[in-house]
Every structure is written in C-alpha cells, then in structure tokens.
Structure 1
Amino acid sequence: MQTNQLFLIFCSVLLLLGLAAFFVGRSKATRVRASGTSMHAQPDQYAWFAVVATAGPAILVSALGAFVMLLIGSEIPTFSLLLASLAVAVVGLALGIKFIRSNFHARRAIETVILWVLAGAATISILTTLGILISIVGEALNFFQMYSFWEFITGTTWAPGNSFLMAAGRGEGASGGAEFGSVPLFAGTFMITAIAMCVAVPVGLLSAIYMAEFAPSRVRSFAKPMLEILAGIPTVVYGFFAAITVAPFIVQVTGAIGLDASFNNALAPGIVMGIMIIPFISSLSDDVINAVPDSMRQGSLALGMTKGETIRDVVVPAALPGIISASLLGMSRALGETMIVVMAAGMRPNLTINPLEEMTTVTVRIVAAMTGDLEFDSAETLSAFALGLVLFVVTLVLNLVSVIMIRRFRDKYRVNNL
C-alpha cells in the first residue's frame, strides 16, 4: 500500500476516534452533571479535552517519528509508525474519558495545552532561524578558509570566473586569479534599495494618510483593495515592466537632457521595486494611523490646530513606530529581490555611484553561484554562503536599529503625554 493511502487511512481513523472521544466525553460529563455533582467546566470543555487527549499524542508520535527519519536518516516503516500512533490515540481516548470527573479542571488543561502549542510555535520559529544561520555559517567558514575575510569585505572587484580557470589548471591566463571583493555587490544592493525606498515611503505614507484621514468611505473601500492588488503581482511581471517600459523611458529622458544611460541600469529596477513595495507600506501605515485614538485628534482640533497640523504633529508621531516597522518590511523585501534586478539591471558587478549604469545585487550573485555547473565545494559556489551570511548580518543590524528607533519614539511619545 502506498504512503499516501496509508496517510489517508490514518487521518480518517484519527478523525473517527476524535469524534468518538467528543461525543462520549460530552455524554459522560452531562451524566455526571445531571446527577447533581458540581463540576469545574462545561460538558463541551470536557469533550474537547478528550479530543485533545486522543489526537494530540498520536500526532506528536507521528511527527517525532518523521523528524527522526529526517534527522538520523533511519528507515522507520510507515505502516508501523502510523499504527503505533493510532494505538497511542486509543490509549489517549481511554485516559481522556477516565479523567472526566468532578474534581478535574478540563478548562485549565485545555488552556495549558494551548499554551504549550503557542510556545512550541515560537520555539520552531527560533530554531528555524538558528538552523538557517548554522547552515550558512558552516559553508561560509569553508569559503573563508580559501579566501581572506578582509579581502572579501573590502575588495572592490568581483571576478569569481577566474577560479574556474585556476581549477582547470589554466590560472596563468587569468590575471591575478579569482577575486571575491563584495563591495560592488553590496553597493548595488544598497543603491537599488535606496531608490526603491525613496519611491515607496513617500507615496505609501501619503496614500495611507489620505485614505485614513481624508478619503470618503466609498473612495477608501475602492482605493485600498486596488492598491493592495500590487502586492499580488508576480515579481517577474514587474521585471518585464522594468525592462520593457521603465528602462527605455529612462534612456529616452536622460538622452533628451544630454545624459548617457544604459538600458540595464539601477534606476529602473529601483523605481519598479519601489512601486512593488508601496502596498506593504501603505496598508500597514493605514492600519496604524487608524489605530490612533480619535480622542487625540479631537483634542488637537479643540486646541485650535488645523487638520493638517493635527496629522503632522499628533497623528503621525503617534503612529511613527508602526510606520517605521512598515518601512523596514518594505526594505527587507527590496533587499531580497532578485528577478527585477536580473531583468532590468543586469548581472555585472559594477562599483559606481551613477544609477544610470549597469549594476547587480547580492541576491543575484547568490542565485548565479548556486545555479552554475561548478562543484558544490568550489570557491564560487561557497561564495554564495559568504554573501548570504553578510546579508544576514546586515539585515539583523537594520532590524536592531529599527527596534531601537521604535522604542525611542514610543518612550518619547509616552513621556510627552504623561
């Protein structure tokens, strides 16, 4: 029997056991309560406790078995694992029914289970982050054993193709060998991200202020969903728009004023990425501005301030921590974007301050390194992990800075309103 069929049978049997636990548990709790005995919870709560006692351990056993197979690599027969899980479910059903008595707090037990489930979800997210970091650090250290970390951080030339010539025994034809200076990559990443934020933050924030403070309900009900549609457009569509429409338009405009722009330039993907992240900043900022108590607006207007002054001096400062968080989310999206950059800015590492020239980003080089035909332990492939590690650190620093800024603004606002 195939694994999919076994899993379907397992889910069906577990569902039937859960239904049996619910109805039997509720029936028993109802009888105990009808006899005049005082109970600490409602019959439905005892019934749900029986369901949790039946399905919870079974799901936990099957999940632990799958994790052991994945982690250790040992083969556990699927039929035996699912059969053991169902046996645990039957035992849990018997114990859950047995615990239905007057002195048992079913509500507290359910709340304890919910608490552990929430704590487990938080732990999984933390462990996932640690797992990602460990996997990146391990391979990045292998790369730094081949090339200097200082040269990687401060180097201004990225030419990993020479490493292939050296590995093939033709290193004499490559002047200076392979060079892994990451400065051009991070310069392109930060420049394109800065252009995107210069587009997204003003437009997103101003549109959020308009929808929250000025727009009639009919306009708001139409404009906000239309604006949020931009978040659902695939990035490859944005890439086509940047390469076919925005980049040629930039070339024509700059040529009309006497400037020379390449069809692969940093300005086009920056503008299009800014358009792409407008919904994130606008929607979140709109929610935060609407969360500001209306009494603050009324108090400001009662003191003689105009509506514009109220928005500038009261509403926006109160919502500033949320606006910063929304901007950070948009920045993180821009830092990790790849497709738009590939299609509109090219893949050539170029250290320049001119946004009209061809540039590339860290994520583009990571994709190029991981999708090549080189061996996994080659320098060019391992350089992707080094770039990912530095990008991870940069993103972490940005998050820490944003948290500090949010706390300062929040404390300042709280002190000013005591």
Structure 2
Amino acid sequence: MSLGLAFVSVLVVAFAAAWVGFARGRRLRTAGRLHSLPVYHGAYAALWAAIPALLLLAAWAPFQSQMVNQAVLASPEGRALPQFDMQRESIMSEAQEIADGEREQGFNPQSSSLAPRIRSEQQRYAMMGGVAAILVALAAAALAVRRSKPQFRARAGVERWVMIVLFAASLIAILTTLGILLSLMFESLRFFRLYPLQSFVFGLEWSPQTAIRADQAGSSGAFGAIPLLWGTFFIGAIIAMVVAVPLGLMSAIYLTQYAHPTVRAWLKPILEILAGVPTVVYGYFAALTVAPVVRDLGLRLGVESASSESALAAGLVMGIMIIPFISSMADDSIAAVPQSMRDGSLAMGATTSETIRRVLLPAALPGVMGGILLAVSRAIGETMIVVMAAGLAANLTANPFASVTTVTVQIVQLLTGDQEFDSAKTLAAFALGLALFLITLLLNLIALRIVRRFQEQYE
C-alpha cells in the first residue's frame, strides 16, 4: 500500500462516515427534536475521520524516507557499501532512482543490487503508515458517529473544526515567513564570521571571485554590497517607477472615469495581459529591441560610455512589465469610492479633474499605495530582465547608460553550479538575501505609515 492509496482510503472512510452520520441524524430528527441539522452530523463525522488521519499521513511522509534509509543501511546490502560518505550517498541516490523507476541501472553495480531492498523497505513502511492512518480514521469516525444524539451540538463542532483549519492556514504563512528569515539569518551569520559586517554594509567594491592561491590578487574577495543595492534601487525603484507609476495611475484614472464601458471592457483585459507575459520574453525584448535604441540615444547625446547593456534599458522594460500591478490596484480602489462622493463633488462645482485629484485619489490612497508597493517589490526581485539587458558589472554609477547589476542577479551567480557552503563567496548570497528581505520589510513599514498618515475615513 502506498501513501497515495492510503490517502484515497482515508477519504473513502470520511465519505462513509459522512453518510452514516447524516443517516443517523435523519433518524434522530424523525424521532424527536434535533439541535443541529443532519448535514452537520454528517460533516462532523467526516471531519473527525479525515483530519486526524491526514495529519498522521502528513507527519509520516517525511519520516518514512529517513526510516527507509536507516533500514537499508542496516541491511547486509547496506553494510557492504563504502564507508566514504560521498561515494555511499552517490550509490544510494542511484539505487533510489532505480527503485523509483527513473532509470534501469546505475553506474555502480551495487546500486542495482540495493534497489530491491529500497523498494521493499518503502513498501513496508508505507504499509505501516497507511494502515495506521486508516485505523485512526475508522476509530475517529466511530467515536464521532456515536456522539450523534438529539441534543448534540454538531454544528458547533463543525464550526470549531473550520476555525482550527483557518487558524492553521494563517499560521502556515507566519511560520513560512519565520522559516525564511531564520534560514537567511543562520547562513548570514556564518558569512559575517568570515567577512566583516561593516565592510559588507558600507563597502563600495563587489568582487566575489576568490583566487586559488593566497598570493594571487583578490585572494580574499571583496563583498561590498553598496554597488548591488544601488543598482537594485536605480533600476527597480527609480527608473522602473518613473515609468510605471504615472502610466499606471493615468491608465487607471482613464479607465474608471473617462473611458466608455465598451472601451474599458476591451482595454482593461489587454492591459492586464502584460502581467502574464513571462519575464524571459521581456528580457528578450529589452536586449534585442530596447537596449540598441537606448545605446544609440546615448551616443547621439554624446555619452561615450553608452553600453548595449544599460540600467535605462532594463528599467524601461521593467517599468512596462509592472504597469498592470499599479493600474489594477488603483483601478479597483478608485472604482470602490462611493458614487455619492463623486456626485457631491461635481454638485459643488468641481470639475472632473478636480474631483479626481481632491476626492477620489485621497479616498483611494490605500489601494494605490498597495499597488505601488507591490510593483516596487516585484521590480526589486526581478532577475531575468536585468541579466539580459543590464549586465553583470557591479558599477556604482548614476549614469543610466552604463551597465549595472542587482542583488538578485548576484545571488543567482553565486549559487549557480555545485557550491559548497563553507566559503564566503557562497555564503554572501544569503547575506544579500537577508539585506533584500530587510529592505522589503522597511518599504512595507514606510508604505503603512504613509497610508495611516494620509488615509481619509468615510462613512
């Protein structure tokens, strides 16, 4: 029995428990006054049958692989494996792929002889977990059905289960954020043991390439994050926002206040298509179309350092990419302002533009700020457009025609290929990730403060 079959079996038990609970509730209803409807009795039995058993399967799945590995290593075939860890792990990996049917045979003969043992242990432990889950489902369903009585508050029990599920869903988001932060912090602390914090935060040179020999130039590497942070803000928070914010707001204002309903029905979906275009397509567009135009423009303006890979080319295309984020949020926020406020402003003699500027935009400020913040976060985290249009050079320059790079691009560069997590070069990626996380958090706090400062309350 596999865990998938056990999952289906638990659902079947839950469905049967729901039918039995519903039938029992109907019999109790005909016999006398019933506190909760029969459907709640069935739902109560189904929830008790499904949730504990599914939680058991979810907890069993990650431990099953560990128990299988321990059982395989304790077997005669496992004891015959080499003692060298990397070679043993390679054989185990090949044997696992053979057992899963991903390949027919491995490079090492021992992997083929080890695969049947892995397959048998997987079946044994899957059977144990599946049977345990089914027994738990049956026992919980029987207890839940036995509780069905005329005065039993089944509806309250169902609502309690729903509240638990909703709380667990919200808790998952919080724990995920906490896990991301802790994983970044632990690896970042390892990096700062190898490289000074002040040099990382205030350093003006980024050169993570370390030499093989100590007598070579740059043997210690340079990990100053200022050029990367500046490139990230220069492209994502300055150039892209200069393009996206005016165009996004003006398009939202036109679609909500001036456009004919037929025009709006066509233009709004077309505008939102931009959000669904893959970023690699934007990267090709930036590299093949926009970048040559920007380079020629720089040369005509007398900028001799104009490059085919520039911050301006990447920022322009990134700004076009994030227009739908601002436009959609601003559109929904402006459309949500009560019509009575528009009518009252116009009745007082204000023009349409004055109504938009003095009434609608202040009332829709939270949604507009939310859209801008979402767009900034999207732009800061973009990688493909920067790689293809802005380059990889960590230059600290305000020249929009020069090549720059961003934090996300360098993280990809540092973690590409087989890396060992014991060098400053690799651990620097986690420090950059932590810096980007803190910057995004700061932007959220600033946006929240702005909204609280300028938000207007209406009844």
Residue of structure 1 equivalent to 2:240: 196
Q: Which of the numbers 245, 251, 271 marks the counterpart of 2:289?
A: 245
Q: Which of the numbers 160, 170, 185 marks the counterpart of 1:122?
A: 170
Q: Which of the numbers 33, 42, 45 marks the counterpart of 2:40?
A: 45
Q: Residue 373 of structure 2 contacts residue 444 of structure 2 at CA under 8 Å; is this kept in 1?
A: yes
Distance 2:392 2:24 in 1: 69
User: How far 1:191 sits from its partner (Å)?
Assistant: 0.1
* Deviations, residues 213-269 of structure 1 (Å, cap 9, x unaligned): 222221112111111111111111100000000000111222223233100100011
Distance 1:281 1:374 in 2: 38
Residue of structure 2 equivalent to 1:207: 251
Q: Which of the numbers 358, 362, 367 marks the counterpart of 1:313?
A: 358
Q: Is the deviation greater in 287-296 or in 337-346?
A: 287-296
- Percent of aligned positions that are identical: 48
Matched, 1:100 2:148: yes
Q: Is the deviation greater in 249-258 or in 51-60?
A: 249-258
Residue of structure 1 equivalent to 2:77: none
Secondary structure at 1:275's aligned position in 2? helix
Secondary structure at 1:172's aligned position in 2? coil
Q: Residue 139 of structure 1 contacts residue 382 of structure 1 at CA under 8 Å; is this kept in 2?
A: yes
Q: Residue 349 of structure 1 contacts residue 359 of structure 1 at CA under 8 Å; is this kept in 2?
A: yes
Secondary structure at 1:145's aligned position in 2? helix
Distance 1:146 1:20 in 2: 60
Pairing of 1:15-414 with structure 2 (within 5 A): 15-35=11-31, 37-68=32-63, 77-161=125-209, 163=210, 165=211, 168-169=212-213, 171-174=214-217, 177-193=220-236, 194-260=238-304, 261-410=306-455, 413-414=456-457
Distance 1:275 1:293 in 2: 30
Distance 1:41 1:55 in 2: 21
* Deviations, residues 160-181 of structure 1 (Å, cap 9, x unaligned): 11x2x1xx22x32305741111
Q: In structure 2, do the counterparts of structure 1 residues 263 and 293 end up closer, same or farther at CA, with 3 Å as the change threshold?
A: same
* Deviations, residues 304-326 of structure 1 (Å, cap 9, x unaligned): 21121111111110000111011
* Deviations, residues 79-103 of structure 1 (Å, cap 9, x unaligned): 2112111111101211221122121
Q: In structure 2, do the counterparts of structure 1 residues 306 and 115 end up closer, same or farther at CA, with 3 Å as the change threshold?
A: same
Matched length: 404
Residue of structure 2 equivalent to 1:10: 6
Q: Residue 68 of structure 1 contacts residue 74 of structure 1 at CA under 8 Å; is this kept in 2?
A: no
* Deviations, residues 288-336 of structure 1 (Å, cap 9, x unaligned): 1111111111111121211211111111100001110111011001111
Distance 1:176 1:25 in 2: 72
Distance 2:303 2:200 in 1: 33
User: How far 1:195 sits from its partner (Å)?
Assistant: 0.7
> Which consecutive aligned stretches of 4+ in structure 1 deviate over 3 angstroms post-superposition?
67-76
User: How far 1:373 sits from its partner (Å)?
Assistant: 4.8
Q: In structure 2, do the counterparts of structure 1 residues 74 and 32 end up closer, same or farther at CA, with 3 Å as the change threshold?
A: farther
Q: Residue 269 of structure 1 contacts residue 345 of structure 1 at CA under 8 Å; is this kept in 2?
A: yes
User: How far 1:68 sits from its partner (Å)?
Assistant: 4.8
Secondary structure at 1:174's aligned position in 2? coil
Distance 1:33 1:327 in 2: 56
Q: TM-score, normalised by structure 2?
A: 0.84
Equivalent position amino acid for 2:260 in 1: P
Q: Is the deviation greater in 174-183 or in 292-301?
A: 174-183
Secondary structure at 2:194's aligned position in 1? coil
Distance 1:358 1:274 in 2: 17
Equivalent position amino acid for 1:212 in 2: T
Q: Residue 333 of structure 2 contacts residue 367 of structure 2 at CA under 8 Å; is this kept in 1?
A: yes
User: How far 1:206 sits from its partner (Å)?
Assistant: 1.1
Q: TM-score, normalised by structure 1?
A: 0.92
User: How far 1:74 sits from its partner (Å)?
Assistant: 7.3
Distance 1:20 1:176 in 2: 68
Secondary structure at 2:181's aligned position in 1? helix
User: How far 1:199 sits from its partner (Å)?
Assistant: 0.9
Q: In structure 2, do the counterparts of structure 1 residues 342 and 87 end up closer, same or farther at CA, with 3 Å as the change threshold?
A: same
Distance 1:54 1:374 in 2: 46
Equivalent position amino acid for 1:221 in 2: A
User: How far 1:355 sits from its partner (Å)?
Assistant: 1.0
Q: Is the deviation greater in 321-330 or in 95-104?
A: 95-104
Q: Residue 17 of structure 1 contacts residue 90 of structure 1 at CA under 8 Å; is this kept in 2?
A: yes
Distance 2:182 2:37 in 1: 48
Secondary structure at 1:347's aligned position in 2? coil
* Deviations, residues 23-52 of structure 1 (Å, cap 9, x unaligned): 2211111111112x2222211122111111
User: How far 1:69 sits from its partner (Å)?
Assistant: 5.3
How well do the aligned residues superpose, as a CA RMSD in angstroms? 1.9
